[in-house]
Amino acid sequence: MTYAGFKSYIYAKLDRNDPRVQAAFKWIQEHYTLDTNPNMPGEQSLQGLYYFYQVFAQALAAWGEPTITDAQGKVHNWREDLVRKLVSLQNKDGSWINTADRWYESNPALVSAYSVLALQTVLKNP
């Protein structure tokens, strides 16, 4: 949910130096991953994953930077990372599904919509 809050700060036009924006951005840098829903414990880390992908794309597109540097100093082209991840998870029929069912993410229509919206955000805002 940090990405959703971060996106809201940007949409509300808070200054990038605002402590709340900086705290959220620091958290994003410290927890950068597309393998799990960041900072969710154990088996729960795959729940809500596709919603996370959608909000991840929207938040970082709103931030407007092509890369993000994680806490270890590694620079990530977050758009490329997200596209690679979603392509790797896509089913042969073109859909996506989350086997860690929570929040209706076992529904391929919903999860595919999240995925397409994330891809649309990535491609629309280079």
What single string gives the DSSP state of each residue in 10-73? HHTT--TTSHHHHHHHHHHHHT--SSSSTT--GGGGGTTHHHHHHHHHHHHHHHT-S-EE-TTS
Give how far Cα 46 sits from Cα of 13, 23, 38, 69, Å.
31, 24, 9, 23
Give the angle subtended at the CA of 37 by the CAs of 3 and 28, to the nearest 5°: 40
Residue from 72, 87, 62 nearest 10 by CA:
62
Each of the 126 residues of the chain gets a pLDDT tens digit; together they read: 899 999 999 999 999 999 999 999 999 999 999 999 998 898 899 999 999 999 999 999 999 999 999 999 999 999 999 999 999 999 999 999 999 989 999 999 999 999 999 999 999 866
pLDDT given at position 101:
87
pLDDT given at position 65:
96
